[in-house]
Amino acid sequence: MTVPFKFGIIRKLIDITNLTDPVNSLNESINFPVLKSRKVKPGKQSGGRKLSGESISSAILTIASVICAFAFVSAVYPSVISAGDPIMSRTDNMRDQIMTDIEILHETTGAEGAEIHVWVKNVGCRRISSGMIPESDLFFGEEGNFERIPYSEDGNLTPGWSYLIEQNKDGDWDKGETLRIKIKPENSPVSGEKYFIKFSTYNGVSEEAYFTVS
């Protein structure tokens, strides 16, 4: 960091302003080269005006103030920018959640009662990409005794869930499209028992329902 160097200069400048003869002190501190004085002929006056010690002191203090301000901005500005990043990130997440919405349409059994099929519709404004659908969480089980079911890409994992997007063209879960979820529980559902299902998207938007196996 160059801040200590800057403040060292400031301290030196302030010390000079406190002396009785700041002009000579400034010359000694900065080691200006010695210039030969030009003799002025009698009857003629130099066109220049003598610079008073008070003016030099004011100039030095002005320079010191500018250096202080620059050092302060250099130290504070990165902190202000970093503090704003989490706020912007949280705002983006909230906007993403507001634009996402799903609805469970129907539940039934399949594969001779060994599977559960659930239809979930995208009723929000946000398109959910194919890469983010497996990041969803699915909970299933008897009422009061459910568990998280892991995603199974090939649909062969038990317990596990897989999906198929109906009316789909591009592989993404677009607005208005329906996701058909196939759940393979560890134990086959019992007829007449009440079951719980909850589906949560990658950004935490969820929908849940209870249904009875017929």
Cα separation, 202 vs 214, whole angstroms: 31
Residues paired with 160 in a beta bridge: 184
User: What is the rounded average pLDDT of the residues 160-167?
Assistant: 94
Q: What is the pLDDT of residue 203?
A: 94
- Two tokens, residue 126: 């946000």
Residue 20 has pLDDT above 60, yes or no: no
Q: What is the pLDDT of residue 57?
A: 76
Q: Model-level pTM?
A: 0.60
Domains recognised in the chain with CATH numbers? 3-32+51-98 (no CATH), 102-212 (2.60.40.10)
b/e map of 72-87 (b: 16 or more CB within 10 Å)?
A: eeeeeeeeeeeeeeee
Cα separation, 204 vs 180, whole angstroms: 19
Contact 123, 100 (CB under 8 A): no
Residue 164 has pLDDT above 80, yes or no: yes
Q: Could you read off the pLDDT of 40-68 as tens digits, one per residue?
A: 455 444 444 555 667 777 778 888 888 88
